[in-house]
Amino acid sequence: MKRSTSTSTLIQNLPLNIPNSLPRHVAIIMDGNGRWATQRGLPRIAGHYQGAEVVKDILRCCKEWGIKILTVYAFSTENWGRPTAEVDFLMGLFERLLRVQLKEMQQEGICLRFLGELDVLPLSLQREMQRTIDITSQNQEVYFNVAINYSGRQEIVRACRHLAKLVQQGELLPDAIDETIIQQSLYTLDLPSPDLLIRTSGEMRLSNFLLWQLAYTEIYFTNTLWGDFNCEEFRKAIEDYQGRERRFGKL
């Protein structure tokens, strides 16, 4: 599947009217959909459906508050290990959401990109993804990244292979490999690292999400299930972040 990099320069040139303490980039591990549904006596898929509604609200908050980049974990490579019916439902849901939401995302100025190994996804979903990437690529209100079939370790392996090939072809010297070059070989390309990572549902782990990019990210865990997360909960997470001192190893 063709990957679009046409938004790269736009992201580098983000306007500087963002208040200092507001995170520029928020990443979210949207967890707890199954439990949200089970609590209500509903099938797990009902939780994923509700989860999609929450994403829309959070995206609106980002636009309203001036958070420029939102990256969400929608499906991990490990999630293929779930029952086929749940996986199929999720793939269908992603495709339907893209089709139904495209017009609104376009109106709201959302620029959509996907992180992950996309070319093994159902072809009809890949087509919908590419269409969305192409149509929204010039939008600049919020850069919305969705990790689908994503693995942080696999992303690093892929970058290593890519750089090894360049060295083999004589296009790159081993000593020229530095953090910037590795970073640019990741799915996230030139996106700045997340300032804040939120994980819902009380789980306190990364589950293979953005392993390289989260090196200095502030982390916020909440017991709230993703299906119950909302603008108020999001505001609490941002306020918590704003009270922190980011030292980056310095004093």
Residue among 143 and 229 whose Cβ is closer to ligand IPE:
229
Decide if 79 is catalytic.
yes
For residues 69 and 195, give the distance between their C-alpha atoms in angstroms, rounded to a whole number: 10
Selected range binding ligand IPE among 28-36, 111-119, 120-128, 233-241, rule: CB under 6 A: 28-36
Q: Is 31 an interacting residue with respect to ligand IPE (CB under 6 A)?
A: yes
The arrangement of strands across the sheet holding 142-150 comes to 110-115, 142-150, 69-76, 25-29, 196-199, 218-221
Is 18 within 8 Å of 24 (Cβ atoms)? yes
Q: Is 89 an interacting residue with respect to ligand IPE (CB under 6 A)?
A: no
Is 109 within 8 Å of 144 (Cβ atoms)? no
For residue 250, the tally of other CB atoms under 10 A from its CB is 5
State the DSSP string of 51-71: HHHHHHHHHHHHHHHT--EEE
Helices and strands: H and E segment counts in the chain: 8, 6
Decide if 31 is catalytic.
yes
Contact residue for ligand IPE among 11, 27, 30, 125 (CB under 6 A): 30
Query: Which candidate in 79, 190, 230, 240 is catalytic?
Result: 79
Residue among 93 and 231 whose Cβ is closer to ligand IPE:
93
Positions 117 through 176 that interact with Mg ion (CB under 5 A): none
For residues 142 and 126, give the distance between their C-alpha atoms in angstroms, rounded to a whole number: 22
Q: Is 63 an interacting residue with respect to ligand IPE (CB under 6 A)?
A: no
Number of residues that bind ligand IPE (CB under 6 A): 17
Residue numbering of the annotated binding site for substrate? 32-36, 44, 48, 76-78, 80, 82, 199, 205-207
User: What is the set of active-site residues?
Assistant: 31, 79
Which residues of this chain interact with ligand IPE, rule CB under 6 A? 29-35, 73-76, 79, 90, 201, 203, 205, 207
